[in-house]
């Protein structure tokens, strides 16, 4: 199916934004809101506003593209879980697109980096695996995220090009979550028997 015959919804919440794109009729329209928190509550209404602006219903979607990171741990989980849930409910395919792939697609550069906490960056390593490096050590000829609109548009375009047997989206985590199990002793469970 040609990309002009497809209606693809893409979205991303891997950074301090809530971004959605709609690829249909050969063009891409985007809707973006900068936000540090609240993506879980705002993402679906933002998507609905975008669909309504083009007169498209969820059931009309032929594929869903989603940003899988790297980036904000919770933000990535929000988008990936929504994409998987929508795909299951609508009987369509969801495709995960890394921020690295979207940056490379949008800029034409081979190297891509994503800002990370504490003056570091996620960088696509020589072996294709992401690594964490000091931001100051990222080579000058590296693509960085420009705008959330450009990023989510690239996610939509790459979702259109993905093969039909692409795996379900899964988060791309470069480092483990900062959460730790509780050190408190769990409560004693009483047996009714």
Domains located in the chain, CATH noted: 3-161 (3.30.420.40)
CA angle 59, 28, 79 (to 5 degrees): 60
- φ and ψ of 34, to 5 deg: -75, 135
pLDDT band for 29, please (50, 70, 90 cuts): very high
pTM value surpassing 0.85: yes
Percent of the chain with pLDDT over 90: 80
pLDDT band for 124, please (50, 70, 90 cuts): confident
Q: What are the tens digits of pLDDT across the range 89-114?
A: 999 999 999 999 999 999 999 899 99
Task: Tell me the three state secondary structure of residue 191.
Answer: coil
Query: Rounded to an integer, what distance in angstroms lies between the CA atom of residue 86 and that of residue 159?
Result: 15
Is-contact 43 33, C-beta < 8 A? no
């Amino acid at each position: 199916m040609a990309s002009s015959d497809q209606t693809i919804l893409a979205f991303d919440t891997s950074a301090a934004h809530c971004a959605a794109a709609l690829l249909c009729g050969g063009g891409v329209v985007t809707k973006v809101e900068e936000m540090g928190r609240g993506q879980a509550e705002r993402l679906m209404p933002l998507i609905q506003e975008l669909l309504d602006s083009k007169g498209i219903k969820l059931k009309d979607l032929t594929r869903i593209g989603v940003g899988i990171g790297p980036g904000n741990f919770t933000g990535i989980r929000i988008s990936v879980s929504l994409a998987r849930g929508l795909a299951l409910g609508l009987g369509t395919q969801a495709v995960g697109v890394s921020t690295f792939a979207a940056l490379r697609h949008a800029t034409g550069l081979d190297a891509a980096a994503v800002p990370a906490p504490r003056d570091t960056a996620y960088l696509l390593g020589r072996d294709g695996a992401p690594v964490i490096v000091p931001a100051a050590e990222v080579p000058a000829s590296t693509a960085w995220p420009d705008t959330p609109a450009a990023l989510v548009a690239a996610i939509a375009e790459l979702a259109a090009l993905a093969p039909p047997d692409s795996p379900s989206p899964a988060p791309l985590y470069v480092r483990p979550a900062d959460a730790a199990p509780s050190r408190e002793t769990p409560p004693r469970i009483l047996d009714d028997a």
